[in-house]
Structures are given as structure tokens and as C-alpha cells.
Copies of this chain bind each other. A is one copy, B any other.
Amino acid sequence: MKPTDSELEILHVLWTSGPSTVRQVHEALSQSRDLGYTTALKLMQIMHEKGLLTREESNRSHTYAAAVTEEETQRGLVDRFVETAFRGSASKLVMQVLGQHKASRQELDEIKKLLNQINSSDESN
């Protein structure tokens, strides 16, 4: 699946807040932007149809939850993005990001550590 931007917003709410009602999601989204309640509802209904959300209907106000993990979703998005924006060159993307965005010392260290792991586990290249 390739969630749209709006769908990603909703997924983020559910990933961080856990299973929620439409009202809760709508309230969270309203913090950052303007959208109607039924808009959120419709989006979540569609996402449910698509299999992006699960739905618990025992209460009158249904409870929705993400049916996909943040990890796997990001994996898909990254694949697609590397392909369309960087013609498959992941390292170019990494270079671009590192050059362009501030990262904390700690984050940089983590990245280095990961790089070292990759290096040592794959001496063939």
C-alpha cells in the first residue's frame, strides 16, 4: 500500500496514540490544520476499506487502529521515494539528507555505529 499524505497523518496519530475514535483523531489533526469532522471520518472509512485500519464496532463510536506498522510503512515509502526521486540510488539520498538536515551528535553517532556494522558484516564489497 502507498498511503496518501492525509492517510499518513491519520496513521501517525494512531501510531502515537494507539487505537482511537474518529473524534480523537479529528481533535489531534485539528491541532495542526483545519479539517471537518466528517472529512476525518470519511478518510478513516476509506482507509478501513483499503485495509490500512482495523475497526472495532462494539461501541457506537467505533474504535480504529493502524493495521500496518510504522516501520513497514516507512519501508515502503522509502523504497518508492528512492526509486522516483533518486532513481534507485539510496546512498545519494543519504548524502543529500545528511548534507541538508541538522542531526544531533547522538543521532550522528548512531548512524556511524550502523555504518560500522554494515561495513564489518559485509567485507565483500
Residues of B within 8 A of A12 (CB): 87
Q: Give Cα distance in the complex from A82 to B96, angstroms.
A: 12
The SS class assigned to the A binding surface is helix
Number of copies: 2
* Residue A68 lies at the interface, judged by CB distance under 8 Å to chain B: no
Contact between B108 and A118 (Cβ–Cβ < 8 Å)?
A: yes
Q: Give Cα distance in the complex from A123 to B87, angstroms.
A: 34
Contact between A94 and B98 (Cβ–Cβ < 8 Å)?
A: yes
Q: Give Cα distance in the complex from A5 to B119, angstroms.
A: 33
A residues at B contact (CB < 8 Å): 5, 8, 12, 74-75, 77-79, 81-82, 84-87, 90-105, 107-108, 110-112, 114-115, 118-119, 125
